[in-house]
Each structure stands twice: as structure tokens, then as C-alpha cells.
A and B are shown apart, each in its own frame.
Chain A
Amino acid sequence: MSLTHFFQHFTNAIYLGSLYALIAIGYTMVYGILRLINFAHGELLIVGAFIAYYGILIFHLPWWLSFLVAIALGAFVGVSLDRIAYRPLRQRDAPRISLLVSAIGASFFLQNIGLVIIGGRHKAFYRPPFFAQTTQLGEVSVMNFLFVIPLITLLILGGVFFLVYRTRTGMAMRALAKDYPTARLMGININRIIAYTFALGSALAAIGGIMYAMRYPAIHPLAGVLPGIKCFIAAVVGGIGNVPGAVIGGFLLGFLEIMGIAFFPHLAGYRDAIAFIVLLLILSFKPTGLMGEQVVEKV
């Protein structure tokens, strides 16, 4: 493989990795506080993308307004999801398994209601022209959009850090993540904090979904499944609940996927398995993730 090739692969990997990182942040936040694998997170991605899509198509909103509306509505959908499918179980102190089953049900529900209403055929997502242009850096082609994504990710990281470490709500979130029962005893309004967490996580999902749709401008109701799982894996790899870890996990996964195929092109068909193999390796050797802390099991 020539050097140019390598650089092109490298660029592709950064591109993919930054997308995964962006989406993984939302996943990890919700899990960190709720200890819930929100299976429906992948669907929240696509819900955001579709709201943006229809905003442009039906309501003729300018693209940036449509995106903002999608993020807001996406947060709303996420909070509703919690209200309907998860909160009742929490209030009954249901076992974790029940939450997981509910999440799986919610995920399938969103996918299929999308199929019924929208249909299964791909829809072309709008791409603002500036993003679509490619720049040539030497022999390597780079889409302008590539420069935007890490920027957005950094902004989001900054925003999230501010929220979590500099606000009272954020402190409550951290308390909840660290010690759920005690936080309850301390009088924190659990349901409200969780709703905030979901709102934030779903808004991030919507942002991630829109970014994803701009990168791969063909969306359909099932398009969120694979990125959802892969980004969950990225979050686990980085250390679930750990936001910088999610970013690292996302990039790592993106790199492994692209470089794996770059060095072993005949394994291209196995590409989707790479994420799962990485998951199993991490779970076998360092289940708390690369940046996770060792959690001592108290009996």
C-alpha cells in the first residue's frame, strides 16, 4: 500500500471515527446515569434525521432551522420514550432485565412505526452544498464536511463538560451515576434529572443522526440499527459512562474498521463483525473499558 493510499485510508478512518465518537457520547451519557442500554438510541438517531428531512421537504424550512427543530423534537421524543417505556418500570423497582426488554421493544416499535408511516425505501437527505464539496489535499480527497464533524464534536464535548461539571443539574447527574440509592435519599428529584439526561442524550442522538445523514445521505427507518449498535460498542470500549472514553472508543472503532479492510481487503465482507469482535475482546479483558475505573463489587 502506497503512502497516499494510507493517508486516504487514514482520512476515511478519522471521518468515520469522528461520527461514531459523536454518537457514542449520547449513548454513554444515558448509560452512565441510568445503567440502561438504550437499544432505542439508534432509532433516536434516525428520528432526528427524518424530522430534519421532513422539515425541509414538507415545511420548506431552511436547512439550519430544520436541523434545530429536529434536535429539539428529538429530545422531546427521547423524554417521551423514557416516560412511556422506562419510567414506569423504574418506579416499580423492576429488575434490569425488564428495562432491557422494554428497550428492545421500544427499538422495534420505532423501527416499524417508521416503516408503516414512511415506508422502507431510501430517502435522499439534503446536504448543504458547501459540505458536499471535496478538497484535494495532495492526492487525498477530503470532503469539506470532514472538517466540520470534529469541530462539532469538540463543541459538544465542551458543552457537555460544562453542563456536567459546572451546573447543579450536572452535579445531580453525576451523583445519580455514582450512587443511585444515596442520591435518591438526598432528595434529588430523580425523575426530573433522568428526564434531563434523556433530553440531553436524545438531542445528542439527533445531532449525531443529522451528521450521519449528511455524511451518508440516504436514510430509511432501519438505518439507525447498525450505527446504534456500533456506537454502543464504541461507548463500551471507551468505558461506559465516560464521555472522553466514548470519543476515544468511537475513533478506535472507526480506525479498526477502516484499517482492518485497508490491510486485509479480502475480509471486506466481514467488516460488520469487526465491531462485535472488538466488543467481545474488551468485555473479556477489560470490561470497564479503556478509560473506565475499576468498580469493586461490594457484596
Chain B
Amino acid sequence: MKFKEIENFKDYCERIRNKKRKNIRIKICITGCRAKGALDLYNEFKKREDKEIEVIPTGCHKFCSGAPVVKVKIFSKDYIYQNVGINDIDEIIKNAKKDKPVERILVKDKKFFELQEIKVLKNCGEVNPVDIEDYIYYGGFSSFLNVIENFTPDKVIEEIAKSKLRGRGGAGFPTYKKWEIVKNQVSDEKFVICNGDEGDPGAFMDRTLLEGVPFQIIEGMLICAYTIGANKGFFYIRAEYPIAVLHMSQAIKECYKYGLLGKDILGTGFDFDVEIKKGAGAFVCGEETALIASIEGKRGMPRPRPPFPAEKGLFGKPTCINNVETFANIPIIINEGGENFSKIGTEKSGGTKIFSLAGKVKNTGLVEIPLGTPLWKIIYEIGGGPIEGRKIKGVQTGGPSGGCIPVEYFNTPTDYETLAELGSIMGSGGMIVIDDKVCAVELARYFLDFVQKESCGKCVPCRIGTKRMLEILERITKGNGEIEDIEKLEKLGSYIKETSLCGLGQTAPNPVLTTLKYFKDEYLEHIKDKKCPAGVCVELFEYVIVEGKCTGCTLCKKNCPAGAIEGEVKKAHKIVKEKCIKCGVCFNVCKFNAVERK
């Protein structure tokens, strides 16, 4: 049903919002949790629908370490269950009908949710991602209607300026400024691009938003297009996100069906078409000029700026590129008003930020918190601290462009400026917690290896400079490092930062420079003592059996492929250094933790 007038559509929205829903609504994440069998779980639950129970497929519930996660809404109370199996279905339904939770599978760590400030992700895990009616039921498209009826483009920009929203892709450029520049360009054609090429290893918030609330992003884009005067938009989504592409294309189709996209939207005379462009596996395409080249169908190589895409972008026309999360914030700003929105956050940047928390931490998942929240709160309180028996050493933010921040600086408020001062960046919001079993030098090597592979090869500092840095780091992790290497790394790093063409190269040395700054001891141990304190760099440690712990069970001896373990039953065993190939089998099979890396 295509709506040709605003009034008709508004009536329709009103009707949907007043519709009585069933008392018990069971919401199953079928996106991230799919990896843990959520699709089968959903199908089983779906069979149990009756006049009281509605089963809804949704996006992410944020608590990903408990996958599959199921939310049961009884009237307006929410119960969130973790690690739900098909065997739990009967009990969940039986108890729901008695208005009772199933205590044993409730998410125990209440802090994980209580300490968050959930705004952008509010609808994620609530609505069916591809059902437009469900989105409307939860207030969807009210911002767009408000804008198209009551706002001039200048007024939209004013609200966004008041909100202090800054680009969520990483660089933190004020959104209103970008929009204003594009709006003021005189051109027969303008474009809007949503950058969903979330290539940073360790980041998954854009994936979650694209999969969980595609309509919210379309709504943000519609408001942008209306404001800057664009009639054509593109979603650039990486090929590694098949569910995101699927949900977004279904959502776009629905919008066309309802007359919210296409020619003469809701009879207002405003035309806006969107199209999905799939990436093809190139990290550099997250850089805006490279992304534009990729949409044009060319090699995804960046070009020098200026001219900025806002002046000369896609096909040489003014183009507004924003990150997925930035667009997802727009409907909220319009609903709340820019000033209210900016009450949360810091003086320079308003609102919340979604971080993806992963690595060596108890609770992994999505964390939405006001900008400026200190790191320890995210990692220790919301994240639940280290994995049993380990010690957190630091956190890696911003992926390959970011850096490692040590525990000593966990009081730092997470903000664009403060993280930059520490030598890292906010980036798109990936946070990988590292503990004492992660080697800082090896981690730096890992990132350099990544950058090396992903460098497009256009400019020399990035192509060759990172290669030389990688070689030095490889040398150090193999025990062949020299003390001069540290200075070489520092020098090379600063040259590459200053002279590279695009963001990829300019930030590539960050992981090395920050680890050098904060974990220099580890570098020195690798170089001088030829030891890897974390027991990661194979050439720099030995497997040793601790006499007191070994029970003489012979398991390691039986499994050793090199015959390097000696010892009799019920007596402590020994590893013969000369024969050991450091495969780690003994370490993995020992039930008494008697094998150690030293």
C-alpha cells in the first residue's frame, strides 16, 4: 500500500501504534546469535505461538557473551535470558503464562544493562528488523514526518548543531558542518552515502545496527537527504556481512512499497532513491575517498583531499558520507530536540557512543554509554572485568588505526580528544581487552601485518614504510631484535604518520607507537633477555613441567609428537629441551596446569 499523502500515512501510523499487541512477546536475536543456533531456536519458539504469545525475530540484545539471548516481554516487564537452548522453551513459556521468569537462565550480571545509557540501540532487540509495521509501532518514522512537515533544511542543521553530534566513524567531524557544506553546494545532483564498510577488526556495532534496525538508518538518511537536497543515496556494506545486506535490502523494499522511498515521497514532492553497493573485501574502502572510488566501480584507492567529498565526491558531485551509527542517531536528535540530546556526553561531543566490547573480558557485547564515561567503568563494571585468574593489561581501541591504552590510564574519559592525547583514537568504537597472556609486541606485529596486507600501495610511506616496520617487529618477536630497533621503529612511525596520503597510513603506526610508549618493558625483554613474558612468541619461551604440580599421569608423554617428554607413571615428568618442537600439545592436554611457558 503506497501512501500518497502525509495525512494518510499518519493515520496509518496512529492505527498501528494503538493496535493491541499480545501480552507475552518473545524476542529472539536472529542476527549475532545465529552463530549459536538462534535460528533453530526461533523456529521452535515460533511453533508455540498462540493467542497469548507472539514470537518475534529481532536484532541484537547486546549481551552477546550469553548467546543465544532471548528477551521475554510479559506486559511491559522484560526478562532477558542467556544461553537459551531448545530444552528451555517449555519452561520459559509455562512460566511466562504465570507471569514468572525462569530464574536459572536469567542474565545474572545486571550491571551490564543497568550501567548503560541505551538510546540509539533502544529499538535493537525490540523490533523485527524487516517489519516496517513493527518499527512504526515503536515510534518509527515520526522524526521524518516531523522534519518533512515542520522543519526547513536550515532548522534541521540547527538542531543537529545543538546536539553536538560528531561523526561516529572515527574522525569525529561535527555532523552539522558536513551537512551544511553539502547543502550550500550548488549542483544539479547530490548524493548521500551511508558508510557500512566496518572493516576494523574488533568492531561490530555497525553490523548490529544494519542487521537490527535498518529502518532507523534509512530514516536518518531520509532526513539527511531532505536537508542537503539529495535525491540519491547509497549503502556501502561489506561483503562479509550477509545478514546486514539481506535485512537492509528487505527494509528498503518495504519503504518503497509504503511510498517512503522513491518519487514524490508521501506526496511532498521530495524524491529519494537508495541502492545497496556491496564491498568486496578491502579495508581501505572504509576511507571516504576510497569508498567513493569503489562505488564508482573502480579500485578502492584513496585520493588526496581537498577537494573533500562534500564538495566533489561521488561522480564529482557534492556527497555527504556518514557512518551507520551517525545516521542512527539522527531520528533520536529530532525526537528529543538537539539541546536535550546534548545534555548527555561531553562539552564538545553530545550523545552516547556504542562500543563493541570483546577480547579478554567476561562480558562481551555492545555497550552504549554517554561519551566521556571512563574506561574502567566500561571494562570492569559493564564488562565484568578479566576472565577468571587473569589480569587485564590494557585495552586496544580503534582497531589498526588505534592504540593500546594501559590499565594505568583507565580513568580516562572516553572521548575523541582524550583518546587522541593518549596516542590512540576512538575509531568506530571497537574495544579489545588484552590481558597478561597477550604479548604487546606480537599484537603490534599483528596490526602491522594487517595494515601491510590492506595497504592499497598508492603512496610510498604506507606501502614500504609499514613493510619495514613489520620486518623489524618480526625480528623482535623471533628473538633477533637489537636495541637500536626501538629507535628505528619510533622514527619510521613518525615519518609514516606525517607523510602518508590517507587515514590508513597516517594512523598505521599507532599500535606500534603506543605499545612502545606504554609497554616498553616488554620490548626490552624481547630484545635484551630474549624472553616473551606473555608466553606468546614461540621462539622466546620454553615449555617446562612444574615438578610440584605434575602427577605423573603420562598424558603429555602419550600425546607428545616429538617424544620429548620423559618420566615414569606417578612421578614428575620432564621435557627434553633439545627434542621439544614447541607444538604446545602438552600444555593443552595437561589437566593439572603443570606445563608452563617460561
Please say whether chains A and B are actual partners in one complex: no
Report which B residues bind A (CB closer than 8 A).
none
Report which A residues bind B (CB closer than 8 A).
none
